[in-house]
Amino acid sequence: MSAPEPGEVILGKYRVERVLGEGGMGIVVLATHVDLEQKVALKFLLPAALARAEVVERFVREAKAAARIGGQHAVKIIDVGRTADGAPFMVMEYLEGEDLAALLERDGPPPPGITVDLVLQACVALAEAHAAGIVHRDIKPANLFLAKQRDGQRSIKVLDFGISKLADGEALTKTNAAMGTAHYMSPEQLLSSKDVDAQADIWSLGVVLYELLSGRVPFDAETMPEIVALILQAN
């Protein structure tokens, strides 16, 4: 399928308004439920990703993983479906706000008290995920969204369970494959993403905490191999 266009109505009930974000594999659009007049976010895979069966399976699994958590600090999955040409999509709650990567880039490190509160909220989401047998495997500032609530308060929402690991599901990652974002990956995840457990997410969140407090990641270098070497040496 091609990327959804503004004004297009998906399955007769979701009217596309505008693009919210686009990555290498997928696109997220703002849409309105035509009957309920409710704003939602629709996530689609881009055509190149649809041609890869493993990516499609991960996409479907992301919806299942997020739905299994269902806590306050994980983005809520409202519905799933397929377009007329069979492409899968998911319907998520629409969030107003920004992710922590954007906040860091614009304002720099927040005050320590706020940082602690944000990280504790992320800890709640990860505890719920781990209790449900889910390891996220890609915790980083860009996947921690600071959402504005109806009462004006702001709350962390953990996004993107697309490369999560389900304890009771069939593995989609080869033993020697490293999946995630290198700066935030634990040594064991760099060596084998398939075999990691909840401790990998805890490591990644520790890196996020370090970055929120200092404005930089603890392991950085000019090239990816150098970054990997620094992390492995820290083990």
CA torsion sign for 108, 114, 118, 119 is positive
Distance between CA atoms of residues 111 and 104, nearest Å: 11
Tokens of 191: 């060596």
Tokens of 87: 């492409």
Active-site hit among 99, 138, 160, 201 = 138
Answer yes or no: 160 catalytic.
Answer: no
Distance between CA atoms of residues 172 and 194, nearest Å: 8
Do 209 and 110 contact (CB within 8 A), yes or no? no
Length of the chain: 235
DSSP 3-state of 69: helix
Distance between CA atoms of residues 101 and 108, nearest Å: 10
Tokens of 195: 């075999």
DSSP labels for 61-93?
HHHHHHHHH--TTBPPEEEEEE-TTS-EEEEEE
Task: List active site positions.
Answer: 138
